[in-house]
Structure 1
Amino acid sequence: MSGGHVASSPDTNVSSQDDLDLPVVLGRNLRRLRTSQGHSLERLAKQSGVSRAMLGQIETGKSVPTIALLWKVASALHVPFANLLQTEAPRGPKVLRRSDAKLLTSSQGQFTSRALFPFDGNHPVEFYELRIGPLHREAAEPHAPGTRENLFVAKGVVEITAGPDKPQTLTEGDAILFDADVPHVYKNLVAVEAVLYLVMTYAETAG
């Protein structure tokens, strides 16, 4: 999950079948979270490393940023990533159709992440389906302090490296838990797509 450019970048973007609504949702949530914490655009820009101009474009619904840029903003605000995408929480069961999924993609589609939870309310724990293209290597920047990732390999053979720790090779049915507040790498070791399931836990519940 890397990058840091606007939505026109071919590298890493948030996408869904309701993209027309996404800029509005992002802008509303960012403005609410920023003002509730007493941040000016200038202050948030300094803390997140995202330019004031870009933050302003997001808040006004003029830009859909990359997933890595959103991670920087969420980390600076000390909130779970999904809080930037959340909508009103409906009552009753919620079916998440694949056709309606919001996909986080990078490396021209070689790495995709599908949220398996609704973007409503607060989610200190998040659940994703990851797909890694044949022989693809995906590097991720550190997440917020205290963030942990619990990965389960449903298909394929992958190598996971977290910070300075020794790389770990996982095959189908294996799982790994690691601290994700350090640089980490997902690498598909074989020439077929790998499928993994990820539970991401934030500091509030980690430990």
Structure 2
Amino acid sequence: MAAIPISMTRAEPEEVEDGISRSSEASVRDVPAIVGANLRRLRKGQGFSLEKLAELSGVSRAMLGQIETAKSVPTVSLLWRVADALGVPVASLMATEREPSVVVIRRDNASVLVASDGQYATRSLAPVNRARSTGFFEVTFAPGHRERFQASAIGTHHNLAIARGRLLITVGDEPPVTLEEGDSIAFEASRPHAIENISASLVSAFLVVISSTG
């Protein structure tokens, strides 16, 4: 994967004292907050708990929590690991600029996350670096694969629609539900849940993740 340069554009200093730009100092101090806010938004947009992201990235849950609350400044190496786990460019964790009102996402340029040794994959169908609390994904499950998900943050809701195949979905201690092609289900993702492909072919579905916790 080619390296993506990280650059921070500094504004013209408003005040200079003893050769030190006060506005530049403020910009540097803002970096932890910017990275933390972006990480929290992107993680929730993917529907990941801190535990799930820690598992995928190899970065401890405690460290991820410190980054999200701007209590720790991550290294570039750590940012790469987190961005790779989220399936986004590192620059997305540093983004501060306003975005255009119309964004086209080509299939070949979409962010894709492959997990469970290739048995489960998600492809983002919405701009991942937008400041919004809703995510939209295409998800695929290999034949016979069962993917377990830890509880997401309270207030997170999932809406899943089956495009092709059959899935068995278990949410918390609720009875399992079988979904056929064209069926959909809405549930609170703040409880552990599992999704299993009970067909003999690849299952494709569309997932909308909605977070009301900001």
Tell me the TM-score normalized by structure 1. 0.65
Q: 1:85: how far off?
A: 8.1
Q: Within 5 Å, which residues of 2 pair with 1:56-205? A: 59-63=74-78, 64-65=80-81, 88-204=97-213
1:32 aligns with 2:41: no
Alignment CA distance shift 1:157-1:22 (3 Å): farther
Question: Which sections of structure 1, spanning at least 5 residues, go unmatched?
Answer: 1-16, 37-44, 71-82
Amino acid of the structure 2 residue aligned with 1:20: A
CA gap 1:146/1:53 in 2 versus in 1, 3 angstroms: closer
In structure 2, do the counterparts of structure 1 residues 106 and 32 end up closer, same or farther at CA, with 3 Å as the change threshold?
same
Letter in 2 for 1:166: P
Match of 2:10 in 1: none
* TM-superposed deviation, 1:33: 4.5
SS at match of 2:77: coil
Percent of aligned pairs with the same residue? Answer: 29
Aligned in 2, Cα 1:171/1:87: closer, same or farther, shift over 3 Å? farther
Write the deviation string for residues 95-118 of structure 1: whole angstroms up to 9, x where unpaired: 111111111221111100111111
2:61 — aligned with what? 50
Q: Aligned pair count?
A: 162
RMSD of the TM alignment (CA)? 3.7
Q: Is the 8 A contact 1:150 1:177 kept in 2?
A: yes
**CA drift at 1:91:** 1.7
Q: Structure 2: 5+ residue runs without aligned partners?
A: 8-29, 38-49, 55-59, 87-91
